[in-house]
Structure 1
């Protein structure tokens, strides 16, 4: 079987810990080329994976025999690089948030459609076992009518794992565009849309910079979200959780409460209205630390969608809907008003 040839654009932490090792482990792919403006960093991974090395993504797209690329760059480059790759006829897996505006996101979607190639956004929370099981139970009616939810994603900040530490692009508005809300909040927005099976209609938010000195992006945000059918809840995204990471979601329904990633042993706990409790041990959420889920599922799904010529489950349109909620949260914080999501 012919292997898909992959180009990695951006050799930072997410590429090092997720994209490269997962492509390397996938029997259907080979890492053909790597690219980073930091030539030392690019050189390390070119040697490790015996790949061609580039410091300019345009040269990689023009001179490298590849089928698909992973875009793992700072946020402000996601759209221009993805569009260039799509226009070059390459399938694209782009990190989140997919873009910095709706116009950019629509440009990416249009480029994929015009060139007949796949565009997938790397929202990995949909592939977590507890989340998949919870969606299955909700769809089967186990929770009954959903009333509300509470979701959080917080840790000590990107300096703990970013390739550039405290000097990371994550803290610079001109490169990141958005802080904890783009890094973490967009993940939970996507997860909630996936679990609830409907879109958010209204957003209210407080978005602050309180924990990271010198950062000109948000590091702590709390949003109130309302779906089209009237399900309401909160989403917190923060880089100010100085001890244990919180990656939990709780769904409150008519027949049951579902607690996801809220317990160190049981990744899903269902507490039924009749007093019964069912605990699931489904393995931890993916993490770079020991004991976590080893693969994100994102890369395998992307590869499968190309090999089987199927639309990926998180195409550009899905990434855009999750981005839209984050953009509405920013607007709400700025205007001090509830914002409707178009």
Structure 2
């Protein structure tokens, strides 16, 4: 593919305005935004002004953009329930695709996506942005020199704002609280903890026991997810994510090996956000390396450059499906009140 890539945006809402858009500009040699599709006029106008996209390349829907714009790739940043239709349409248009997580709202949709990707032979990746914090990158490098962890845990205990629900005035909050839009705690936020901890554990999850439900908020989606996992190598891990209770340590991951342990804030690089211990349990705070790129900037730079060079994307559709399978297994485990084998969900 050419460099810079000609990029079309399917969705130009809050996540693009706060994170994706500034990240694209961190590596201007890699990508140029040339077209935008969004049903909201204010989002299109923001994108026009921010990226310098001409008015004739502003579209109200992705179908018109895919039919008319001259594109190498698209990014998809829309409510979860729209991902499958939009990815399949982009694949049929023969453009490369980087989609926000989760790739879909069900494994049936995910498999339809992968079928379309294979049929049209186009690159397809998922945004797992928190793999690219300096804390996560440091931990993943250090774990290459240690035995595989035997135990891990992650926590993300947050409290949603007053009025959180499908009727919230902020549309980015409203759809996340809606079942029909694919919202919910485990789909939207626990997702990040699942891929972060599984990556740190260095072994795929095999069995899941879980409780996923709504225990405090007046919603038709879950507000808490608690998972107990056994990995393929026999290691154990736990994950907890809440929308209904806040902890002082809002986000963290920790893993333990026979030669030492690592604790980190997996979502944000901060002065006290990375600690390491010896096998004897002597913890020390470690200074993280600096980076000229933000977390999203690093993810998109690596992905755009992989596309330009024809290389494998850093997070693939198969990677995204594996996390969706864990989520579906957790929901089933919560329903049947017993552990579920991930092999039941193989493609």
TM-score by length of 1: 0.89
> Which residue of 38, 48, 51 maps to 2:50?
48
**Is the aligned partner of 1:235 residue 2:239?**
yes
For residues 1-342 of structure 1, the aligned pairs below 5 Å read: 2-27=3-28, 28-51=30-53, 52-141=57-146, 144-157=147-160, 164=170, 168-176=174-182, 178-213=183-218, 215-242=219-246, 246-261=250-265, 264-274=270-280, 276-282=282-288, 293=294, 295-342=296-343
1:296-330 per-residue CA deviation (whole Å, 9 max, x = no partner) reads 42211210111111011211001111111011111
User: Given the superposition, is the C-alpha separation of residues 265 and 25 from structure 1 closer, same or farther in structure 2, using an over 3 Å criterion?
Assistant: closer
Give the TM-score of the pair, scaled to structure 2.
0.87
Unaligned runs of 5+ in 1: 286-291
Q: Secondary structure at the match of 2:35?
A: strand
Deviation at 1:242, TM superposition (A): 4.3
Contact (CA 8 Å) 1:156, 1:245: kept in 2 or not? no
Deviates more, 1:163-172 or 1:129-138: 163-172
Which segments of 5 or more consecutive residues in structure 2 lack a partner in the other structure? Answer: none
Deviation at 1:231?
Answer: 0.9
Shift of 1:258: 1.0
CA distance in 2, matches of 1:266, 1:23: 29
Q: Is the 1:154–1:184 contact (alpha carbons within 8 Å) kept by the matching residues of 2?
A: no
The DSSP-based 3-state class of the residue aligned with 2:251 is: coil
* Number of equivalenced pairs: 331
Tell me the alpha carbon deviations over residues 1-25 of structure 1, each in whole angstroms, 9 at most, x when there is no partner: 7421111111222111122221133
Quote the RMSD (CA, aligned, Å). Answer: 2.5
Provide the residue aligned with 1:289 in structure 2.
none
Residues 114, 163 of structure 1: CA spacing in aligned structure 2 closer, same or farther, 3 A cutoff? farther
Contact 1:130 1:267 in 2 (8 A): yes
CA deviation profile, 1:190-234 (whole Å, cap 9, x unmatched): 112222222111111111223432x21111111111101111121
Q: 1:163 to 1:152 in 2, by over 3 A?
A: farther
Q: Give the distance between the partners of 2:256 and 2:15, measured in 1 at CA.
A: 33
CA–CA separation in structure 1 for the residues paired with 2:285 and 2:242:
28
Q: CA deviation at 1:166?
A: 8.0
Distance (Å, rounded) in 2 between the aligned partners of 1:72 and 1:145: 34
